Each structure stands twice: as structure tokens, then as C-alpha cells.
Structure 1
């Protein structure tokens, strides 16, 4: 009887120690290092994670594929990433759940001020700077901007040249390309220099379309549901801070992304904070996933299938669970 009691006590102590050890482990969060993902760094710098009693290991990563590798290797629990990679990974077996929205807007097609191109149809036969084929932004470019809005065949009517977004403005200025499909802060930097203009603003055509989202792995949701709710509370606080304190948050963003001042065509110096302020005309932040957001995600999924980037039909509703965000809002 004594041996059984001692054994039970030992097992209970071991279980308690294991649970305590798991609770002490930081929640590992990865985010694509992009201005649109500002809520992740705001939550960290303003102490919102700590306010929720959440220990985090926050990692800024270069792009979606790097985050995919980290998730697949079990090196991340949660990620801030673009919607298209999420459903593309899902179709290939890397399951995750979309929990909340991060931002809306950000992308535009720009041309040189002196360009004879004045509408999307004018891109026919032209060179357009874009990103890697099959990536999230490429799906938006080919499926919506070129096929739907411009009525062009992205494979034959336009010469899409893959290059880093940071090189697009220079390529446009040097005449290497006729137009560029880019995003913030690159759009605002080009406009504030005074040598480019917006040909097509995606956020005007599709007001407040969602892009980056917060996702979690099934294991994270199973093992750490309370921490996920805490994370989403901190996320909501960060979004509110961005919207309620624009000047202060613009400074944080400018410093975090190491934005440099630009010179306008008339010789004026445009500060990094002004670049962020300009970007807000095409970019904003929101945590809530609306029915219209799910419709947009479904549109992207359908475009990915039609473009041959995905061979599985998915329903956006199967990838989204807003119950954790609902708990975080109480």
C-alpha cells in the first residue's frame, strides 16, 4: 500500500513538473519581416505580450518559405504570414489554422511618371517586375490584377520579370521594366521621390482585402490553447495601438525596418516617418476576420488552382477558426 502511494505521488510530481516545464517554454513566433506585419513587433516593443503574462521568442524571418521550413521542423508554434502560403502548404500536408487577420491592403502597380501606360490594358506586351512565380503576391498579380482586372493572359501577354521588391524601383527608373507590382513601403518610397505614379491600387479596387494572417499549428492549439488566446489579446492591443497612435507607431515602424529618408524631385527631404504615413493610404491593420475576408481568401484559392499552383480544391472555412480570437475579445 505504501509502495502504491509513493508511486502515485511520484507520478503526480512528474506530471506536475512536465506541465510546469511546458508552461515555462516560450511561445515561438515567426513573422515575415514586412511593414504589414507591424503588429508583431509593436506587441513586443510595447510590452503587450508581457502584459498578458506570455513568454515569447519572436523571430523576424525573410519570407514565407523560411517560415514554412521552420514550422515543418517544429521550430515555430505560431506565425504571421501571407494567406496564400498557408493554404498552399495546407494542400501539401502542412496543416495550420488561420486565427486572425493582421493587415489589409499594401500592393500596387506603379509606372514611371513619363510612361505612356495609363491603364492595366496598356501592360500588354510590356515588361513587368514581379516576384517569384507561384508565390502569394504572384497569385494576386496573375489571378486578380492581370487576368481579372486587366483582361490579360499573364503567361503570354505580359513579360513578368522576377526580382526582389527592393530592386523594383531602380529597375523602373532605369527602364529595365515598364511597370512594377510592388508593395509598401516600396510604393510610397517611389511616389515620394516624385518619379513614379500608381497605375493600379489593389486596395482601391478591393477595399481592405486581407493579406497577412496569424496562424498556429494543430499541436500548438492542442497543447497551449490559453497561450494562443493570450497571444491574440496582445495582437489585438497592437492593432489598436497602431490605429490609435499613428505618429508614435510610425516612428517605431520606421526604426524597426530601418527606413531611410528619401529626396523628392524638388529637393525636399522626406523623413522615414512620412514614408510610413504615406504607406497608410494603401495599408492598414485589423485583427478581425470578416465574411468578406473569407470570400477573398477563397478567391485566391480558386485562382491558385486555375493557375496550376495548387491541385486540391479547398474551402476557406476549413482553414479558419475564430473561436480563439472571440475568447481574446472577452
Structure 2
């Protein structure tokens, strides 16, 4: 009897071992199959010195890229021109590039396609406090007679020129005009404020919080201007050929960014810590930039907002007209989001993203 009992125990152990091995093999094969579906696993992403590019930082630090089978290398650049060159040379697989430079590059014949969002709003202009003394309120006319640092071919510059025109102010030197001085990068434009020659400057995150911390006054934030609300800033951009040839890889990349967005909505402290590893400023400044209500980092392609922006800058003469439909891919985001909802059908964040996408596309 005792021998039969021991035999039964041994049989159960053997069967459990076989089942466990089978499960491990199945899990390993399932994961392996997912990775095999990717056209490539090493992925290079270019970004700029902005807290608004947090989706990449969070996806990297929280392991979302790794979950999707991607080994992503993040590299910081200083201008849209450098980012686009990186894409076209094959050194970068994707870049976070400003909306206006992306549109102007496309209008010039560059075969670059927008396939997702990175940031909306979050930029504006600041002025030295000496010019606001004795004032409790001001508008764009406070720049009259001032030297303003800006970045050519940027959404900040396009907005400034539009607002100046609407206010009846000419660009040029003189007490009744606004002298716009151009710099190659936002970093250079902001640094120019330290000189006596520059009175005001364009800013995007994190320079707006840095400027406030240094005692400068905000002329305006774009989200506070009615015509610029929900203004697309940085977009996810890649070459058209890469997107067409590696759909699974970009789908995995997008899934990771959507997961990062969800994390940023649910874990503020963790998001701030992730950002600080890439944008080394005080955490209170990061919190202001990300959660202060002036900008939003969202992976949605926001196609209609970009179409509206394109029409605006074309009408203004900032870019020549072209067919944007050929250079806009919303399928990658749509498919990535749908696959995540299939996995987590009750997730409130994913549902909100889907509702927004359905409303604006």
C-alpha cells in the first residue's frame, strides 16, 4: 500500500514537471514569436531638450520598449534640421520634430511622414521684467520696440508673426515695430536673454519654467490664445520608406509610447523622475512643465490639427502648399491602440485615447 502511494506521488511529480516544462516552452515560444514579427529590434530615436518628449523617456525607463521587443537608443539633438538629416541618412529610425519644421520640410519635398504625436502646446514668449514694471496686464503689443529672440522655422515663430500681423505690428527695427532676431536653436534664443541686446525670447518646455524661475515674465502661452489652442507642437516622424517597410517595428514602438502615456497619467512622481534622467532641471520645474496645464504630451497623431496648422502657415506664406495626405500615417497609431485595448478592454486611459482619435480623425 505504501509502495503504491509513493508511486502515485512520483507520477504526479513527473506529470507536474512535464506540464511546467511545456508551459515554459510555450511562454518562451510566444515571446519569441512576437519578437520575430519585428523587422528590426535595434531602434534609434532622436529627441530634443524638452520635457515635452517625456513619452520616450518613460517608455525607456519603465521598460515599455523592452516589453515590445525593442532595444531603443535615445539621442538628443539641438534642431529639427539635425533630426531630419538623421532620418534621411538612416542614422535615426524615428524623431520627435516640431510641427512647423516638419510641415516645411514636407513642402520642400522631403519624404518624411508623420505617424504620431509627442506634444501639443507648451510654448510661448517671455520678456524681461523691467518692461512689465507698473503693468498688471499686457498682450502681444508689449513687444513693440523690442528685440525678440526667436527660432526660424518653428511653431513659436509662426505664431509670433501671425499675432504681430493681427495686432497691426510690423517686423523690423524702430520704436513702432518688433525686431525679430533669429537663432539656430531654442537653447541659443533663451541664452540670448542674458545679453543687453535681447529683450524677449521664444520658449518651449523646459525653458518657460526656467525663465519664470529666473524672473522673466510670460508674454503669452499659446494655449491661452484662442486660435492656438490644441496647437500641435512636436510630432513623431520617420521616412516614408521605413514606415512602409517595417510596420511591425513601428507598431511595437507606438505601443510602447501609448503605454508611456498611460503611465504619465497615473504616476506623476515616477514620470518626473524618468524625465529628470534626460532633462536635468529641478523637479518642480518638470512638474510645472508637464502638469501645469500649458502643454500635453500625447501620442495621438492629431491629423486634423496638423491639417489646420498647415493651412494656416501656407496662407500666411510660411510654407508652400502640398498634399499632406501622402505624408500622414494614422494606421500605426490606430492599430497599436486597438491591440492594447484588445489586451485590456476595460482600461479607461486607452478608451479615452480611442474616443479622442475617433473624434478628430
Same fold per TM (> 0.5)? yes
- Provide the residue aligned with 1:242 in structure 2: 264
Deviations 1:251-299 (A, max 9, x none): 221232121xxxxxxxxxxxx1101112232221112234651344324
Change (3 A) 1:191 1:21: closer
1:273 matched to 2:294:
no
Question: What are structure 2's unaligned runs of at least 5 residues?
Answer: 1-35, 339-361
**Cα RMSD, aligned residues only:** 2.6
Contact 1:87 1:319 in 2 (8 A): no
- Provide the residue aligned with 1:197 in structure 2: 217
- Provide the residue aligned with 1:228 in structure 2: 250
1:78 matched to 2:100:
no
Moved more, 85-94 or 167-176: 167-176
SS at match of 1:314: coil
CA distance in 1, matches of 2:192, 2:124: 16
CA distance in 2, matches of 1:27, 1:51: 14
C-alpha displacement of 1:322? 0.8
Moved more, 40-49 or 83-92: 83-92
Question: What are structure 1's unaligned runs of at least 5 residues?
Answer: 1-19, 260-271
CA distance in 2, matches of 1:231, 1:140: 31
Equivalent residues, number: 291
2:170 equivalent among 138, 153, 176: 153
- Provide the residue aligned with 1:124 in structure 2: 144
Change (3 A) 1:300 1:36: farther
Contact 2:149 2:189 in 1 (8 A): yes
CA distance in 2, matches of 1:294, 1:170: 30
Instruction: Give the TM-score taking structure 2 as reference length.
Output: 0.73
Instruction: Give the TM-score taking structure 1 as reference length.
Output: 0.79
- Provide the residue aligned with 1:297 in structure 2: 309
Contact 1:188 1:278 in 2 (8 A): yes
CA distance in 2, matches of 1:44, 1:220: 21
2:317 equivalent among 306, 310, 313: 306
CA distance in 2, matches of 1:80, 1:171: 25
Larger radius of gyration between Structure 1 and Structure 2: 2
More helix by share: 2
SS at match of 1:287: coil
